């Protein structure tokens, strides 16, 4: 007998304490993915192994947000050296996808969100394998086993995932080639209903046995190319074979004695660092980062940051980015002077520094203090919704983020990586380089905004990870410098009135639509006691757990 729940309240009014432990911690948006990560830690794996195990399990349990048909980014902290490495696991545009080609189809402003032209080579699989190869300890066959088991045996679908699965069926899967593979007789699984995905289990077993080569060459690559071309796209098996991840130098800024790290572009972590650099020049009144005045400053700093990020963030292989100049304290001073403490400014433009310049997030810290901040995404839920026949995963639509204006740094080009919204983050102590936090906030253009608000809550407000995640958030709509400010239900009425008086166009968001404010995970590490303190966002189905 199946228990059918008619209504799930999405009022997000429960309270949680931070989770504490010493032997290892995993925080994700799905408890079964947390369990997968803990299983790997208990079996001798480290933070890299557990992160990939959790990411693969999330592909099974939350395909509404993530999967092997999408992209990933990761930061890894090595506790022996205090060094952080950045993995870019994002894919590139097909070799045949040119401005001329998309123009022939009538696309001159942007690519339609679900068009097969938006499918870039899925980079997640190579990212998983490369992270484990460089920093992990276990074989991929061991790391992927919990996810394979979940896909084969099935799992009960959680409430928020069921809600977005239903939306995804109506928007993408019902009309996308092969989309029915991720449905039950054409509908979404209900909350508490068991869903099995034998096609995805097959894919994961092939990767477990053959590594990334088995994904980018051979039957899976052929199936991906065939599905894209049958839907009207132009990605080929050669595009798949050409793909590789890149290891890059992470970049950072100092914020009040804490160094905040992000992956460099083509990701939008630049926006978070620009905003923090601006905010560091302002004092927090009475140590309270939740006043109307501080909210105003955060919003204005992020407007300036997005104005720059939406212009400068691109694939640096195609267009150089003046990162050192953009992140200099001098440029922060220059941009900070543009903020009016008494009035919102909506017409922000990108600046020129001197000398020129739908998603799952998870985090793991193991018992030795190694940490992995990891993010994986299809984009826009199920991505395009297109499923390579028999393989159980959807293909992303990251190419939607390319610009089609020829003079824009992020303009579409063959073999190019697009502006990417997904960004993991880490924080180290400036005094000794020790790990302070591994954290992230998923959710499109909300991500750098979430990074800024969470760091301020931790550093300026002194909150623990769970309390920091439970604070109401704001979101500048679509990451546009002049966008409306979406405010989460829970801010006092007096705050709303004062922000309107300052000139901010506001919209209050409640219920399930609060997902726009992202879903974060945080693990802090005390340098002396080595105690881990974790929080998991109440806007998701997940949790944090320790060994």
Is beta strand 19-21 parallel, antiparallel or unpaired with respect to 258-262?
unpaired
Is residue 326 within 8 A of residue 274, CB to CB? The reply is yes
Is 359 assigned a catalytic role?
yes
Of 20, 71, 64, 115, the closest CA to residue 532 belongs to 20
* Three-state secondary structure of 73-127: EEEEEECCCCEEEEEEECCCCCCCCCHHHHHHCCCCCCCCCCCHHHCCCCCHHHH
* Three-state secondary structure of 434-492: CEEEEEEEECCCHHHHHHHHHHHHHHHCCCCHHHHHHCCCEEEHHHCCCCCEEEEECEC
Phi, psi of 442 (to 5 degrees): -85, 165
> What tokens were used for 123?
């980079």
- For helices 329-336 and 292-312, angle between their N-to-C axes, nearest 10 degrees: 120
Is beta strand 83-89 parallel, antiparallel or unpaired with respect to 246-248?
antiparallel
257, burial (CB in 10 Å: exposed 0-12, middle 13-18, buried 19+):
exposed
Q: Which of 28, 359, 384, 421 is catalytic?
A: 359
N- to C-terminal Cα distance for the chain? Answer: 34
204, burial (CB in 10 Å: exposed 0-12, middle 13-18, buried 19+):
buried
Of 8, 48, 1, 94, the closest CA to residue 372 belongs to 48
Beta bridge partners of 159: none
Of 325, 268, 255, the closest CA to residue 302 belongs to 268
Element (H, E) at 311: helix 292-312
Q: Between vectors from CA 417 to CA 414 and to CA 419, what angle results, nearest 5°?
A: 125
Residue 416 CA from chain centroid, whole number: 20
Q: What positions carry a catalytic annotation?
A: 359
């Amino acid at each position: 007998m199946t228990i059918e729940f008619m209504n799930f309240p999405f009022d997000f009014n429960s309270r949680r304490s931070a989770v504490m432990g010493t032997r290892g911690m995993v925080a994700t948006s799905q408890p079964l993915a947390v369990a997968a990560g803990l299983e790997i830690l208990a079996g001798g794996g480290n933070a890299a192994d557990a992160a990939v195990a959790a990411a693969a399990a999330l592909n099974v349990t939350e395909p509404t947000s993530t999967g092997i048909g999408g992209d990933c980014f990761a930061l890894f902290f090595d506790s022996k050296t205090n060094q952080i490495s950045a993995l870019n696991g994002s894919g590139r545009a097909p070799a045949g996808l040119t401005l001329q080609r998309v123009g022939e189809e009538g696309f001159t402003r942007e690519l339609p969100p679900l068009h097969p032209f938006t499918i870039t080579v899925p980079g997640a699989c190579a990212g998983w394998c490369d992270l484990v190869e460089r920093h992990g300890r276990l074989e991929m066959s061991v790391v992927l086993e919990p996810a394979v088991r979940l896909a084969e045996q099935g799992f009960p679908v959680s409430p928020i995932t069921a809600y977005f699965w239903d939306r995804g069926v109506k928007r993408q899967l019902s009309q996308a080639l092969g989309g029915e593979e991720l449905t039950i007789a054409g509908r979404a699984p209900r909350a508490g209903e068991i869903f099995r995905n034998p096609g995805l289990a097959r894919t994961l077993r092939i990767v477990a046995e053959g590594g990334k080569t088995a994904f980018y060459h051979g039957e899976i690559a052929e199936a991906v190319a065939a599905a894209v071309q049958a839907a009207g796209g132009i990605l080929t098996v050669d595009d798949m074979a050409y793909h590789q991840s890149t290891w890059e130098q992470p970049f950072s800024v100092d914020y009040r004695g804490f160094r905040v790290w992000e992956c460099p572009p083509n990701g939008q972590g630049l926006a978070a660092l620009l905003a923090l650099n601006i905010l560091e020049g302002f004092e927090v009144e009475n140590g309270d980062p939740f006043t109307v005045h501080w909210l105003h400053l955060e919003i204005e700093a992020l407007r300036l940051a997005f104005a720059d990020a939406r212009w400068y963030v691109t694939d640096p292989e195609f267009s150089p980015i003046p990162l050192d100049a953009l992140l200099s304290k001098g440029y922060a001073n220059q941009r900070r002077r543009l903020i009016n403490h008494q009035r919102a400014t909506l017409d922000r433009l990108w600046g020129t520094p001197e000398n020129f310049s739908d998603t799952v997030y998870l985090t793991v810290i193991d018992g030795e203090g190694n940490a992995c901040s990891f993010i994986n995404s299809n984009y826009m839920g199920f991505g395009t919704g297109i499923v390579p026949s028999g393989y159980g995963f959807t293909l992303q639509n990251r190419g939607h983020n390319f610009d089609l204006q020829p003079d824009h740094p992020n303009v579409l080009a063959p073999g190019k990586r697009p502006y990417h919204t997904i960004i993991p983050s880490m924080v180290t102590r400036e005094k000794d380089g020790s790990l302070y936090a591994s954290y992230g906030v998923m959710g499109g253009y909300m991500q750098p905004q979430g990074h800024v608000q969470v760091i301020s809550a931790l550093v300026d407000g002194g909150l623990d990870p769970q309390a920091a995640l439970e604070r109401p958030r704001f979101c500048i709509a679509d990451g546009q410098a002049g966008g409306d400010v979406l405010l989460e239900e829970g801010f006092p009425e007096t705050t709303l009135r004062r922000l309107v008086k300052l000139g901010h166009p506001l919209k209050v968001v409640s219920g399930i639509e609060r997902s726009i404010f992202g879903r974060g995970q945080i693990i802090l590490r005390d340098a002396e006691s080595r105690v881990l303190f974790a929080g998991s966002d109440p806007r998701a189905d997940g949790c944090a757990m320790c060994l």
